């Protein structure tokens, strides 16, 4: 049977992507948070339900993490279906690979567009025969044994690997990189940039097949300067000069890496701050306008409404 391509497994952006996370006893809180929190942030920042998620267990019982967090699942694995199933076993994963679970995983492959093995979840996918002929990775401490045990899988030392309708990830921090990449791929690099800002990080995702290029130092430095000069915005020419390139070079880099011109990126950063101040503070719109580099409230209101579809006061009243 012909395998599906990435183009066929990405749902339309107007329909929320349904993500189920299959938790096993001893799962990693860190890995779970790094998977779900960027999705939640993408929904919040876009003011749209881009993602829906549920927690599953094999039998529907409450599951306890490695650090003692209890999670009550929404459903059992047999009830699950959607766009992506993420396996999250973390510890003692080899003991989980019994025949009944492997059979359920093979059945689940028919109900999900994508199967993802996070941390050590790749082992269970491979044990179920679901990674034959695929490229994959796993937590690097387990990579040598993984490669020896499953020679039919092309094992790679990567943070994460996306190969058609299979995804694998090497650990908790890499899970964040993976989800950031998926957000950028499906909903644009500017939204991924906003999510990265929210978590005080720079997106540094890297994979072997669908490879998000790391942002160049030129773009990173330019974005930093924009963030540092919100109240009194610099000209794009001045930013380019401080970065050490021409304005044309900066525009080319940003268009390539963020799919937007510098002026649009700068405007988005300023308006994101304005939105945060509108929703999280009691500051007057006039004060917010000054803090975000606008000469007067009217100028801010026009730009705000064009970006978010409503005026600052209307958003605050909600």
Mean pLDDT (the chain, rounded): 88
From the list 49, 17, 21, the residue with the least C-alpha distance to 33 is 21
Calpha distance 153→145 (Å, rounded): 12
Residue bearing tokens 């579809």:
309
From the list 240, 214, 230, the residue with the least C-alpha distance to 159 is 214
Calpha distance 269→239 (Å, rounded): 15
The residue-averaged pLDDT of 293-316 equals 92
End-to-end CA distance of the chain: 51
pTM: 0.80
pLDDT band with cut points at 50, 70 and 90 for residue 215? low
- Are 218 and 171 in contact by the 8 Å Cβ rule? The answer is no
Q: What's residue 188's pLDDT?
A: 87
Residue ranges of the alpha helices (H) in the chain?
A: 6-9, 29-46, 99-108, 121-127, 143-149, 172-187, 189-198, 217-228, 236-243, 247-258, 262-280, 285-291, 297-308, 312-317
Query: Percent of the chain beyond pLDDT 90?
Result: 70
- Widest CA span in the chain: 67
**What are 12-25's pLDDT values in tens digits?**
457 899 999 999 99
**What are 127-153's pLDDT values in tens digits?**
999 999 999 999 998 999 999 999 999
- pLDDT of 205 higher than 50: no
Residue 200 falls in which region: left (phi positive, over 0), alpha (psi -120 to 50) or beta: left
Q: What's residue 97's pLDDT?
A: 73
107-110 long-range Cβ contacts below 8 angstroms, 24+ apart: 107/78, 108/77, 108/80
Q: What's residue 201's pLDDT?
A: 66
Q: What's residue 24's pLDDT?
A: 94
| Contacts with 293 (C-beta within 8 Å, 6 or more apart), sequence order | 230, 231, 232, 233, 270
From the list 215, 149, 209, 206, the residue with the least C-alpha distance to 177 is 206
Calpha distance 45→183 (Å, rounded): 12
Strand, coil or helix: 176: helix
CB-CB neighbours of 19 under 10 Å: 22
**What are 238-278's pLDDT values in tens digits?**
999 999 999 999 999 999 888 889 999 999 999 989 998 99
User: Lowest mean pLDDT: which of 7-16, 17-26, 103-112?
Assistant: 7-16
Domains within the chain, CATH numbers bracketed: 15-187 (3.40.50.880), 224-318 (1.10.10.60)
**What are 73-84's pLDDT values in tens digits?**
999 999 999 999
CA distances from 149 to 44, 115, 126, 142, 146 (A): 42, 20, 9, 11, 5
In this structure, what are the phi and psi dihedrals at residue 306, rounded to the nearest 5 degrees? -65, -35
Residue burial 145-157, b: 16+ Cβ < 10 Å; e: rest: ebbeebeebbbbe
pLDDT band with cut points at 50, 70 and 90 for residue 54? very high
């Amino acid at each position: 049977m012909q395998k599906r391509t990435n183009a066929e497994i990405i749902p339309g952006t107007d329909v929320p992507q349904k993500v189920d996370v299959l938790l096993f006893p001893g799962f990693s809180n860190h890995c779970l948070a790094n998977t779900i929190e960027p999705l939640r942030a993408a929904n919040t920042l876009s003011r749209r339900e881009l993602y829906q998620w549920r927690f599953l267990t094999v039998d529907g019982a409450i599951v306890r993490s490695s650090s003692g967090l209890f999670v009550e699942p929404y459903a059992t694995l047999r009830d699950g279906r959607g766009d992506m199933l993420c396996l999250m076993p973390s510890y003692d994963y080899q003991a989980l690979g019994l025949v009944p679970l492997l059979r359920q995983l093979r059945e689940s492959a028919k109900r999900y567009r994508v199967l993802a093995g996070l941390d050590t979840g790749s082992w269970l996918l491979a044990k179920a025969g679901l990674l034959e002929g695929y490229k994959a990775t796993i937590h690097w401490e387990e990579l040598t044994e993984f490669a020896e045990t499953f020679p039919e899988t092309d094992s790679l030392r990567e943070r994460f690997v996306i190969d058609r309708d299979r995804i694998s990830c090497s650990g908790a921090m890499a899970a964040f990189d993976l989800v950031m990449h998926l957000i950028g791929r499906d909903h644009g690099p500017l939204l991924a940039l906003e999510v990265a800002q929210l978590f005080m990080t720079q997106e540094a995702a890297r994979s072997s097949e669908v490879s998000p290029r790391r942002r160049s130092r030129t773009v990173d430095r330019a974005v930093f300067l924009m963030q540092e000069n919100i109240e009194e915005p610099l000209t794009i020419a001045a930013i380019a000069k401080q970065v050490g390139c021409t304005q044309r070079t900066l525009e080319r880099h940003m268009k390539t890496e963020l799919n937007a011109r510098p002026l649009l990126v700068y405007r988005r950063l300023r308006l994101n701050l304005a939105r945060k101040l509108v929703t999280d503070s009691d500051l007057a719109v006039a004060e917010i306008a000054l803090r975000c580099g606008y000469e007067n409230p009217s100028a801010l209101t026009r730009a705000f409404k064009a970006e978010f579809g409503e005026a600052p006061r209307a958003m605050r009243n909600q």
